[in-house]
Each structure stands twice: as structure tokens, then as C-alpha cells.
Amino acid sequence: MESNRLIFTYDSTINKVDRIKLLNQTPKIIWFTGLSASGKSTLANALEHKLYEKGLKTYLLDGDNLRNTLNSDLAFSNEDREENIRRVSHLAQTLVDAGLIVITAFISPFKKDREFARSLVEENEFIEVFVDTPLEVCEKRDPKGLYKKARAGEIKDFTGVDSIYEKPENPELRVVNDRDLDISLNKIINYLEKYN
């Protein structure tokens, strides 16, 4: 606790309001959550492409990519999953402060961790998108062979198999990505246009 007395917040002369004016957009976090292979990354990538085409300034934070960089020291225990989302949440908050539209794609299995991410930004700056693809569809896809390994006991604490996934109770958006990608993508775009 002693070291906290040495840490102070530095206020930059250029602030979030200035950046919003310069970028001419409303910053926000669009938080995709769902099981492994639910289609989070595919949807997030497609959404970023659509927003980019509209001239919006975005940044995509993907779970696999950050597990290889910022969070490469973390495993998959519940504690490490919580720390993974804590770090990502603060990174997303910083990018929102920069005036960007941040798109995240993380399993983020625990409700309290998603609520923490939401708490870091203003109420209208967080959009939770639950990619509610059925487990059996995710297992059938299994592009990385993770479900197969988990069912064989080669991977422990795998979300949806032997570790819980707490479904969002009141997400801003729920999409079922076992159908046409464009249907889910258009639902998200329509929501953003209506509430931006």
C-alpha cells in the first residue's frame, strides 16, 4: 500500500473531449462474448471492416492475439481468465479515451468480469454483444480442435466443457451465429446506427 502514495494521475492537456471532436465520432466498446468457435472473431472482424468503410476509426482486440502478446504470461485458470479480462478492459478503456471505437472478441466467461469492463466507461460507451451460438454448433466447427482435446481430457478447465460460461442476462445485442454471417452483422450495424 505504501507504493500507491507514489502514484498520481497525470492530466494531459488534450483530453477525451478534444479527441472526440477531432475524430468526429462517438467512442465505445463493442464487447463480443460467447463460447469458443461461436463466431466472435469472425463477426468482430467483419464489423471492423464495415465501420472502416464508413470512415470510422476503430481498433480490434482479439483474445487469441492478446494471449500471444500482452497476456502471454497467463494460463487458463479462473484467476488467469479474470486477469486476462481485467487487462483487456483497461486497454479498451484507454482506447475509448483516445476516441476510438473498440471492438473486442473474448470468451469472457464470467459475468462479473464483463460488468467490470462495462464499469470502466460511460454507460452509453459499452455494448455487449452475446454471440449465442449453441455448444453443439461450436463443437462441430471446432476449427482449432480444442473441444476434441477437452473432451479427451487433454485440456482442463475448457469453457463450455468443464468450466462454466455465464450467459449475459441483458446484453444490448444477442446474435445467433449459426446462420448467415450477414444477418448477424446487419443486426449489429442497425443497432449502432439507431443508438449512436
- Known catalytic residues are 108
DSSP 177: T
CA–CA separation, 9 and 83 (whole Å): 22
Q: Which one-letter amino acid corresponds to residue 15? A: N
Which residue carries 449489429 as its cell? Answer: 188
Alpha carbon distance 82, 80 (integer Å): 5
Instruction: Using alpha carbons, select from 172, 167, 160 the residue that is nearest to residue 124.
Output: 172
Question: DSSP secondary structure string, 35-88?
Answer: STTSSHHHHHHHHHHHHHHTT--EEEEEHHHHHTTTTTT--SSHHHHHHHHHHH
Q: What is the DSSP letter of 166?
A: -
Cβ(121)–Cβ(25) below 8 Å = no
Bridge partners of residue 88, in order along the sequence? none
Grid cell, residue 107, equals 470468451
